[in-house]
Amino acid sequence: MDAHSRKTSGDTAERQRLQREAEYHDRRFGENTRSSTDKFYAITQTSFAWYHQRLLENVSGLRVLEYGCGPGDIAFAAAQLGAVAHGIDISPVAINQAREHAAGSGLHAAFSVDNAEQTSFADASFDRIGGSGILHHLNLHKAYAEIARLLRPGGRAVFLEPLGHNPLINAYRDRTPLMRTEDEHPLLRNDLRECTRHFSRVRPRFFHCLSLAAVPLRNTAAFRPALAVLSGLDRLLLSAHAPTRWLAWMVVLECER
């Protein structure tokens, strides 16, 4: 196969991948196909709180982009805090839902269908960029480069993503393939190393391992005390330099331009 044929084949594969992602997320947001996984998110208050705190800190007056916004989350929170907020997603269904919410809420947040690996924005368009569960759907080399391009000097990107090193979590993923796309890839150590090549500083913080054992108790009186104990153990197990930190379910990546 000559160079032109390889490029054509590669371009076709990329278009097909993006189409699969768009179709999957149209179904996800249109039909709520991942509702059965909601039970696991009963334990995620700490990771989402840290993600929101680092992304929305002193955000008034800044330009904020929510990457892979779905029906909107960070974009609306940022707009409420006085930011100029925009959200992008590959799913037209999700963007329509976000626009309807914006129109009904009176919040000034803009939304558009866009490719997160090659957006339509100019260089240095945003002070903050963030997303939850988006990077692991992307070509990371392209996505990291694009995020760095879009950030202004001194800007900050914050992402909450799943990790792919815990064998028990991976076993569950293998048993539930219809809950995810064939192209997604929970982040690995090398993916975090790749991130450091695009930003001046990358700070990961790891969340949720033993605390997953509290999920079966979520509808009982024992849930909160059990979660408190297990989360305390997780803080030791998943601390910044502990080798066991890679067993975490989630990581918050804070990247500075």
Look at strands 201-207 and 126-132 and give their pairing: unpaired
**223-233 pLDDT, tens digit each:** 999 999 999 99
Residue type, 90: I
How high is the pLDDT of residue 5?
47
pLDDT of residue 19: 77
Question: What kind of architecture, by CATH, is found in domain 3-29+59-206?
Answer: 3-Layer(aba) Sandwich (3.40)
pTM of the predicted model as reported, rounded to 2 decimal places? 0.89
Q: Is the pLDDT of residue 146 over 70?
A: yes
Dist. CA 132–CA 74, nearest whole Å: 9
Residues 54-74 have pLDDT tens digits of 999 999 999 999 999 988 899
Strands 126-132, 63-67: parallel, antiparallel or unpaired by DSSP? parallel
The tens digit of pLDDT for each residue in 180-197 reads: 777 889 999 999 999 999
Q: What distance, in Å, lies between the first and last C-alpha atoms of the chain?
A: 39
Q: How far apart are CA 85 and CA 125, in angstroms?
A: 11
Please write the tens of the pLDDT for every residue from 8-57: 555 678 878 877 876 776 677 776 655 556 788 899 999 999 999 999 99
